[in-house]
Amino acid sequence: RKPMDLRRVIIFYNLFQVLLSGYMFYEHLMAGWLRGYSFSCQTVDYDDGPLSRRMFNLCYVYYLSKLTEFADTVFFVLRKKQSQITDLHVYHHSLTPMEAWILTKFIAGGNATFPNIINNFVHVLMYFYYMLSAMGPRYQKYLWWKKYMTEVQIIQFILCIGHCINALVTGCPFPRFISTLLLINASIFLALFMNFYIQSYKRRPKAVMAGSTVEKVEEAAKNESVEAKEVNNNTVESVELLEKQDKSEDSPVEELKHAEEVSEEACEEPSVVEELAEPALPKDVTEAVEGLRQRIVTLEELIPEDRPSRVEEVTK
């Protein structure tokens, strides 16, 4: 099976989560945290008043929202992104719905809603980031704050831990068992997110930085070799150009002198034809040939003129 293309579905899903989280954040403020709730210690209001009922309804909506977040896992499976189904993901999406159900069933209000309001604020940012990420490469330049998103989540759990410890230490009448469970849960989340943060942003960048440094060194060396080659080529070309210019700048007088020297050398040296016509013979051979010529001349003088000479017959 090929991975399913759910880009548009994921965009609208993330937009829905942004709006839902924003609505719940506003309702948490209007139902209690801006209407008299104490950040140090707030018990559950079991009265049937408008604010307590509003908070109860909000806790139920919060529980339903955690059920809708199972779609994150479904999308990972359909898109074959099993690598993103980490231990942190499984723990978060398995335990949070059960926690939200317990709070809605027994303690819908008070200190138990403090982690909820912080979680709603964080989810507005988180799902907005996911929405931009799903919108394609054109919006990648707006995702520079991914690291800070993880840091905000870590701060979220630190605040929850501090809030639970304060309730346990100061003797707040809020159920200690629930405060202890919230403290343990927030501590586990903090450990998991810290591990994710270290693995993603503290160790990997060093390797990336080292790789980038090597690439920069190699690129610099390559550039230096190219520049050296260009310098050498330019030097050779410059020398050749200067030589050509020097030759072209010779005066006509010097050119004429050069031509005369060449012609004189040509006149002084015997031609190839002359060397072949007058071969250099030994002295005794030359004397013998000369004596033979004289004898032939003497014989021709003795022969009558009307008779062809022997030399002519031979030549004919």
The residue behind tokens 């937009």 is: 15
Closest to 44 (Cα-Cα) out of 162, 179, 166? 179
| Helices 7-28/50-68 angle, 10° precision | 160
- What's the 3-state SS for 67-101? HHCHHHHHHHHHCCCHHHCCHHHHHHHHHHHHHHH
Tell me the angle at which helices 7-28 and 114-134 cross, rounded to the nearest 10 degrees: 160
Among positive and negative, which fits the CA dihedral 247, 248, 253, 259? Answer: positive
Alpha-carbon gap, residue 112 to 163, rounded angstroms: 10
**Read out DSSP for 95-119?**
HHHHHHHHHHHH--SGGGGHHHHHH
Active site residue 92: yes
φ/ψ (deg, to 5) at 108? -80, 75
Which residue has tokens 């999308």? 75
303, two tokens? 């022969």
Which is catalytic among the residues 28, 89, 92, 93?
92
Closest CA to 113 of 155, 68, 56, 65: 56
136 torsion bin: left (phi>0), alpha (psi -120 to 50), beta (else): left
Point out the residues that are catalytic: 92
